[in-house]
Structure 1
């Protein structure tokens, strides 16, 4: 099957035109951009699912794939839910056309271990609740609410995605319980685990769980992460001391993370994350809570963004990489185990239904689309002349003769500045959210060192983080200077995988390398933490604009 999957072409006679390489990827699915056959707009996303590979390696059935299409089409008419357009299939592939979330991952724009301001967290939380409430009103439970499935529109509004684990919990007035164990350990509700024998959550084994109440719990964890940049525990079982402390203290945890939260939000979180499902908040409780009803200058009466440029600026300013710090100790804390030997089939993930199995199809169809190019034609032919700060190449923004001056306006460069700042050139000319916060991932950096040197730095950094990599990065058969596959565990012992893609930009005699960290599977906040750790270890090869 693996060999065959490499040769399977995408369906022919599609009712649209594909206009991109891969913009997103699961282990058996590829997402590409498309347009109508006779027009250039609108641009939408198409998810191509390899049906046989999904059933064999994805631990899901053909019925579940059909259920994803059915339920998504049932609820995809809300401003905070990715809109469903159409579906089709051939003998090998099933495709789903849907709204293109051009803003990318919300949590790609949130700093790990920091979070966002209370106003920004409140804004996105209200949009999340709006979308989930609508979903539940249609009898559909998502069952996999987590940062990986929370995207942004091009205007910066929240979009709930991925209905591969959704279920119909209410139909024609009748409610049913779920028994499938699914979700991501840090975001899952304890009663989901209690459906299985041999688990220790503090709850007795149950005959099932309410999918809607599980979503409420997960929304509470997402709010927690928005505010502090980390999850409250790695899993809601007795194996986690943080969760045990939370249970024993009746929601008044002694963990330091809880002390970072605004006092006014604590009772809301305790209500949403009540260990006993029958005591958990419903939407009426949530929407009456003082923290939910608080005034927010970012929020318009209709739930939209009242000041998108201010919100975008604050989000970009909040991202920062401090080269004086050491890599985060929370990353891949299972130090004794090589990431190349990580096998999720015997661990946590084997107990969870998953739309992201660990055996991806290695297929040229899944080559990544490059983001908008930096204006390489603006580079001069001269080499950089000043390097300092421990080998970090620094330049003066816009300095005369600076071959990298055009990078001064690159949004992702702001995270490397000594003090959080957004270039005035971005804010002065911005007209919409995406003019400041780009639609591509911010987990990338630029390098001024030769490619061989950079690849050695990357390889050394990954080894220091106990991430096993091939001795020679893949450099054949792709449109990139180098391509390194990554598979590891994040700080919560959940699977984390993706690609480190090195692209070359040339202008005259100047060569600049762009290094992109493209997540395939895992929490985007954990992926950002991993990215930061690698960057800090590679600081010698990182181009940084001077203040």
Structure 2
């Protein structure tokens, strides 16, 4: 990349991978401001040109506190660049503990923010069509932001609503009618929100795909006995009541957003002192509803409401270039330091070299307050020894991998649904300490975390206890733009 791409900005790190290319963290060397940049290789993915332009057009129609901001795109020869707000808090899926979930107080907070963002989108006539925890990011204040609008579409324009035909989304989160087509946009997104709610509260997904071939889905759809099975048995009555109404197989019977906001679980204040995972609303065993009362085809009366708010921005000019060298001004908001990105987030491992070039003295930049993340830990051995321990652990678990010199591996396997699962482990020397850092490249976030936990157990004897909670120091690699 040429130095004059945008003067004064440098690529600090590759954050992750999308369908058409990498996502990179871009830092202003003077101010420390950060932006996520999605890089697309059009030579390699010719079909992406139309898809990416549609994504940016739809995304830029949205401006809400719970939606990642899109600042625009630039095309230069065979490369495309999309500039996005950088969400420094990571992905929502990293907050979900496999098979356990998260505290009810957190789940309710994130769910309210998700519904707020989806309600705003639907008011604008836009459906997301791929809502899942991996596409929900968190900002520096731990507020949820919806990202990745690659499958989004306009379903309402000028007061006229159209049925959707394209089958898209991620199977465990997809609504059953999407597999049949045509379908209505809003109920399909609400179904996905219902699955996200279950994932947050139970730490697992209810089924692989909502079809007649899936026993777990049929149990939910046609039987009264599902309440005795996981994930439903992990969820208290009030939350289960809401999930049931959001996951009605018939779209016309499914809760709308106004009804969701009136539901008791949504509106009731959760006490943090009760907050270990699925406490908060749990009924005593004697008061659990009978299976016959929990059928997804039955409804009861419900009640109550919700709310939230955004930030101010200064501006940096970025320009869009189309194939004819036409240039479009594209406002690129820069608010202090907080920006974000689409899919996979590899957290900030920022360069001391980059920050040392600042002209504003030695005061620490706000980017130094780094993200805590579950899928990394420090070990008590050298990087060279750590890679040997890691590869032995992968062999023991019979996980296929390939080495990424000098100190990294890529694991390519399948999850329990036989879906592709790809993740990377990088071993880094951080100021004399050895960090083992895992990042999901492709597949289900919960399945990735289950694999991570297995690997971590195999390496337990070299892991420095509590190190996954320690913010990481800066990495010393920077590429000039």
Q: Which bracket does the TM-score occupy, shorter chain normalised?
A: 0.7 to 0.9
TM-score by length of 2: 0.74
Partner Cα separation in structure 1 for residue 450 and residue 102 of structure 2: 15
Partner Cα separation in structure 2 for residue 484 and residue 166 of structure 1: 33
* Aligned ranges 1:98-177 → 2 under 5 Å: 98-177=84-163
In structure 2, the CA distance between the partners of 1:121 and 1:449, relative to structure 1 (3 Å rule), is same
SS at 1:107's partner residue?
helix
Match of 1:51 among 30, 42, 52: 42
In structure 2, the CA distance between the partners of 1:500 and 1:145, relative to structure 1 (3 Å rule), is same
SS at 2:119's partner residue?
helix
In structure 2, the CA distance between the partners of 1:540 and 1:184, relative to structure 1 (3 Å rule), is same
In structure 2, the CA distance between the partners of 1:474 and 1:34, relative to structure 1 (3 Å rule), is closer
Matched, 1:18 2:10: yes
Point out the more displaced range, 522-531 or 269-278. 522-531
Q: Do the aligned residues in 2 keep the contact of 1:242 with 1:255 (CA within 8 Å)?
A: no
Q: CA deviation at 1:525?
A: 2.5
Q: CA deviation at 1:253?
A: 4.1
Match of 2:404 among 474, 478, 498: 474
Partner Cα separation in structure 2 for residue 371 and residue 180 of structure 1: 38
Partner Cα separation in structure 1 for residue 7 and residue 184 of structure 2: 39
Stretches of structure 2 that go unaligned for 5 or more consecutive residues are: 273-304, 311-341, 353-365, 468-481
Matched, 1:504 2:478: no
Matched, 1:303 2:308: yes
**Deviation digits for residues 190-221 of structure 1 (CA, Å, limit 9, x no counterpart):** 111123xxxxxxxxxxxx11122111000000
Q: Do the aligned residues in 2 keep the contact of 1:18 with 1:32 (CA within 8 Å)?
A: no
Partner Cα separation in structure 2 for residue 115 and residue 17 of structure 1: 39
SS at 1:501's partner residue?
strand
* Aligned ranges 1:365-514 → 2 under 5 Å: 371=349, 438-439=370-371, 441-470=373-402, 473-476=403-406, 482-505=407-430, 507=432, 512-514=433-435
Partner Cα separation in structure 2 for residue 10 and residue 179 of structure 1: 42
Higher RCO (CA 8 Å, separation ≥ 6 residues):
2
Partner Cα separation in structure 2 for residue 141 and residue 303 of structure 1: 21
Partner of 1:245: 219
Point out the more displaced range, 41-50 or 94-103. 41-50
SS at 1:182's partner residue?
coil
How many pairs does the alignment contain?
A: 389
**Deviation digits for residues 245-295 of structure 1 (CA, Å, limit 9, x no counterpart):** 001126954423201101011221111111111111111111111111112
Q: Do the aligned residues in 2 keep the contact of 1:115 with 1:228 (CA within 8 Å)?
A: yes
Partner Cα separation in structure 2 for residue 215 and residue 87 of structure 1: 26
In structure 2, the CA distance between the partners of 1:15 and 1:245, relative to structure 1 (3 Å rule), is farther
TM-score by length of 1: 0.66
Partner Cα separation in structure 1 for residue 434 and residue 48 of structure 2: 43
Partner of 2:289: none
Q: CA deviation at 1:514?
A: 1.2
